[in-house]
């Protein structure tokens, strides 16, 4: 599913990622840990196709429609409501029966009652839940989650645990985290970036 050899990414003089070899099979669950600035977010952006490698090779066996990417930012419009954002993304991702799918995700992530509220009025935790809904909306085959537990309260984190447990094995997951112990029961491999 994912194969990288000698993967390197530079931003000017700064080397964000250096000589990484990586294999993630279909259905694999890779947990990516490391301190701030170790290249976790860069790796996920490379896998999503947002960045191109400076050196080395990278093969990702999934097209854009099959990738769900959760970034630090929500990738949603602040002045649209939660529902309007998901409606727009649902259309662009060609989600069948998207209103039902959107309703199910909002309900599950505890956002149904605030679906007509603008994102600018959301707390950070609510915005993160919405970002998760956007990432999962098109039922992607490959999930790239950059610190998905960030800003979630205990209930939100438990919900995400349950969601990841459902997806593990069925979908390919690459999850960057500062808390690899939390993912250890689910992860099939662990990568620690220095």
Give me the count of residues in the chain. 194
Residue found by looking up tokens 């662009």 in the block: 92
72 neighbors 146 (Cβ within 8 angstroms): yes
**Residue of the chain from 29, 83, 89, 122 that contacts another protein (CB under 8 A):** 89
Interface with another protein (CB under 8 A), residue from 77, 100, 178, 192? 77
55 binds another protein (CB under 8 A): no
Q: Which residue among 83, 93, 122, 149 contacts another protein (CB under 8 A)?
A: 93
- Residue 50 binds another protein (CB under 8 A): yes
CB of 154 to another protein, least distance (A): 25
In this structure, the strands spanning 2-11 and 14-24 are antiparallel
Q: Tell me how far CA of residue 48 lies from CA of 79, 107, 188, in angstroms.
A: 26, 27, 20
Please tell me whether residue 73 binds another protein under the rule CB under 8 A: yes
Residue 44 burial (CB < 10 Å; 0-12/13-18/19+)?
buried
Candidates 137, 169, 164; CA nearest to 179 is 164
Q: Residue 112, CB half-sphere, CA atoms under 13 Å: how many?
A: 11
For 8, how many CA atoms within 13 A lie in the half-sphere containing its CB?
Answer: 11
Binding mask 139-178 for another protein (x = CB under 8 A): ----------------------------------------
Start-to-end CA span in the chain (Å): 24
Residue 184 in the binding site for another protein (CB under 8 A): no
Longest dimension (CA), the chain: 48
Kindly state the smallest distance separating residue 140's Cβ from another protein, in Å.
10
Q: How many residues bind another protein (CB under 8 A)?
A: 29
Among 1, 18, 22, 80, binds another protein (CB under 8 A): 80
Query: At closest approach, how far in Å is the CB of 76 from another protein?
Result: 6
67 binds another protein (CB under 8 A): yes
Binding positions for another protein, rule: CB under 8 A = 48-52, 63-65, 67, 69, 71, 73-80, 84, 88-89, 91-94, 118-119, 134
């Amino acid at each position: 599913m994912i194969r990288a050899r000698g993967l390197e990414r530079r931003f000017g003089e700064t080397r964000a990622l250096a000589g990484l070899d990586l294999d993630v099979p279909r259905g694999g669950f890779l947990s990516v840990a490391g301190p701030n600035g170790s290249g976790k977010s860069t790796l996920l952006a490379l896998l999503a196709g947002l960045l191109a490698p400076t050196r080395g090779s990278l093969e990702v066996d999934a097209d854009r429609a099959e990738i769900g990417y959760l970034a630090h930012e929500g990738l949603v419009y602040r002045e649209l409501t939660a529902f309007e954002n998901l409606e727009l993304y649902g259309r662009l991702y060609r989600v069948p029966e998207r209103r039902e799918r959107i309703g199910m995700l909002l309900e599950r992530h505890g956002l149904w009652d605030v679906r007509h509220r603008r994102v600018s009025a959301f707390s950070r935790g609510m915005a993160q839940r919405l970002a998760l809904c956007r990432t999962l909306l098109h039922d992607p085959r490959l999930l790239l989650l950059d610190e998905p537990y960030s800003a979630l309260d205990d209930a939100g984190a438990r919900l995400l645990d349950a969601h990841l447990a459902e997806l593990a094995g069925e979908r390919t997951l690459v999850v960057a985290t500062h808390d690899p112990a939390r993912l250890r029961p689910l992860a099939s491999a662990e990568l620690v970036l220095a």
